Structure 1
Amino acid sequence: MASPASGPQSVDRALEILDAVADAPGPVGAKALARQLGCSLSTVYHLLGPLTTRGHLLRTGEGYAPGPRAVALHRSFQRHLGLGPQLAEVLPRLRRATGAQAYVTAYRDGRIVMLDSTVPVTDSEHPFVPGPESRAHATAHGKALLAALPRTARRRYLAEHGMARFTDRTITAADRFEAEVERVRGRGYAVSVGEADPAYTCLAATLAVQSSQGVVHALSLSLPTTDFRRRHGELRAALVRAAGS
């Protein structure tokens, strides 16, 4: 008798379960997972077993939640993208110096990912959180990283990921973005005023010393646009100083 899910299909289902639990605001029950994935309850239980045994999920009284293995995977991911102790320590210092939220973002092999930030993990409403970046053309850290790439690599990235409009300020045309890249290179930092989120302004600069293996890092700050207008000089100076240290 065939198992509820086997081979590649079982891998896809297991990953769908992990994604569903990770994206949920709280623990998720097996029946809710079955409904969400459109599969049988027996299939879900068949896959929940090894996921919990290996520590990827944790079974609680309210349902399933991310397990302790998620922490190790996250730290390994950060390490592989060059987030060492020295770089991680820059963020809290920048936060204390500016009062703005600070971030470190990386580009490698056609992907941009925010590796870490000073935003509290309890702040689920903040528009900029660690993880894959789908708004690179509209964020300061995305602009800074893309400006550091050769033109062909930058054009390829934009063609693959698109240039969606998030606000009326978002740059959605490739020629306008190239003009923006020239401005970023000329002044040594990038700015996004309400382009990814209408209420926030971001500043970013690539690190003076980059890691090997084709990884490029950027430091960035974000704060309400109303605060940026009166503090842009000091914020820019603090950011450029931190990125060049």
Structure 2
Amino acid sequence: MPQSVDRALDVLDAVAASDGPVPAKALARRLGCGLSTVYDLLGSLTARGHLVRTASGYALGYRVPALHDAFRRQMRVTDGLQDLLAEARRAAGADTYFSTYRDGDIAVLAGAATGHPATGGFTTGLDDTAHATAHGKMLLAALPPAARQRYLTAYGMRAITPRTVTSPARLDAQLRQVRRQGLAVEIEECAPGVACVAVPVPSGATGGAPAAVSAALPLEDFRQRGPQVTEELRRVAAEAAKFRKTADITGPTAG
């Protein structure tokens, strides 16, 4: 049973990764499964609404948006927060994101981006490269040492560009500076020609999970407008704090 669940999720992931409908035979080749097995899995996923069958193959089904809405609800990502990020993108002239820490993981939960490759291609979802991103450095700096070490042990510190910090000692020095300044900046650590800046979202008297808002923009733009973008992010962070629930279940593991 666990293997069939894994295969079903592999099928779902493969369809999600495609730009359009995928034929069953193509899925079987891609996943190294027998065609009859793939048809069985496709039948179950289609019956539950996670996939739909079209004339060209299989595509994501109408159940997927409901799962996305449920995820946003559980992670406290409101329409107000999304609108705030979109407003910030227009005001700052940079792609903006909201990120948080939950039970050992760091994730980008919402964003307002142009999708232009020059921004580095950040997308919402799990971030396993927090050592190289501005929002990741901000959140790592806010964690207790034991929780921070667990994250770095789990995901490592791989080099993404020649400028990525891969030394634990250098990262520790950066994080100390982040805590002093209340600001995280990375330059070309995640993508060539791209700079990112992040500020913390105030948690308020009730505490809660560390969260950050960040912006990504071409390096030349950052050199010219970095202070203005940072000022806009601080405004956004103060507003974003209003959308955080007081009963936050996503706080860092004590350590």
Give the SS at the match of 2:131: helix
Partner of residue 145, structure 1 = 139
* Relative contact order, higher structure (CA 8 A, sep 6+): 2
The counterpart of 1:75, out of the listed 44, 51, 69, is 69
The counterpart of 1:237, out of the listed 209, 231, 235, is 231
**How big is each residue's C-alpha offset from its partner over 1:19-57, in whole Å with a ceiling of 9 and x where there is no partner?**
111112221110011111111111111111121121111
User: Shift of residue 212 of structure 1?
Assistant: 7.5
Whether 2:210 is the aligned partner of 1:216: answer yes
The counterpart of 1:53, out of the listed 47, 54, 72, is 47
Q: CA RMSD in A?
A: 2.0
Quote the Cα distance in structure 2 between the aligned partners of 1:44 and 1:12. Answer: 12
Q: Counterpart of 1:191 in structure 2: which amino acid? A: V
Quote the Cα distance in structure 2 between the aligned partners of 1:191 and 1:215. Answer: 21
1:84-163 alignment runs, 5 A limit: 84-120=78-114, 127-163=121-157
Cα gap change, 1:55/1:210 in structure 2, threshold over 3 Å: closer, same or farther?
farther
TM-score, length basis structure 2 = 0.88
**How big is each residue's C-alpha offset from its partner over 1:148-176, in whole Å with a ceiling of 9 and x where there is no partner?**
10111111111111000011111101111
Q: Counterpart of 1:178 in structure 2: which amino acid? A: D
Contact 2:120 2:194 in 1 (8 A): no
Q: Counterpart of 1:162 in structure 2: which amino acid? A: G
Quote the Cα distance in structure 2 between the aligned partners of 1:218 and 1:162. Answer: 21
TM-score, length basis structure 1 = 0.91
Contact 1:91 1:103 in 2 (8 A): yes
Cα gap change, 1:17/1:121 in structure 2, threshold over 3 Å: closer, same or farther?
farther
Q: Give every structure 1 segment of 4 or more consecutive aligned residues whose post-TM-superposition deviation is greater than 3 Å.
A: 120-123, 210-214
Contact 1:210 1:217 in 2 (8 A): no
Partner of residue 244, structure 2 = none
User: Shift of residue 65 of structure 1?
Assistant: 1.2
Partner of residue 201, structure 1 = 195
Partner of residue 12, structure 1 = 6
Contact 2:199 2:214 in 1 (8 A): yes
Cα gap change, 1:184/1:242 in structure 2, threshold over 3 Å: closer, same or farther?
same
Q: Counterpart of 1:20 in structure 2: which amino acid? A: A
Contact 1:210 1:216 in 2 (8 A): no
The counterpart of 2:178, out of the listed 177, 184, 196, is 184
* Percentage of matched positions with identical amino acids: 48
User: Shift of residue 215 of structure 1?
Assistant: 2.9
Partner of residue 166, structure 2 = 172
Quote the Cα distance in structure 1 between the aligned partners of 2:115 and 2:238. Answer: 28
Partner of residue 3, structure 1 = none
Cα gap change, 1:221/1:50 in structure 2, threshold over 3 Å: closer, same or farther?
same
Q: Counterpart of 1:223 in structure 2: which amino acid? A: L
Contact 1:167 1:195 in 2 (8 A): yes
Q: Counterpart of 1:66 in structure 2: which amino acid? A: L
Cα gap change, 1:193/1:210 in structure 2, threshold over 3 Å: closer, same or farther?
farther
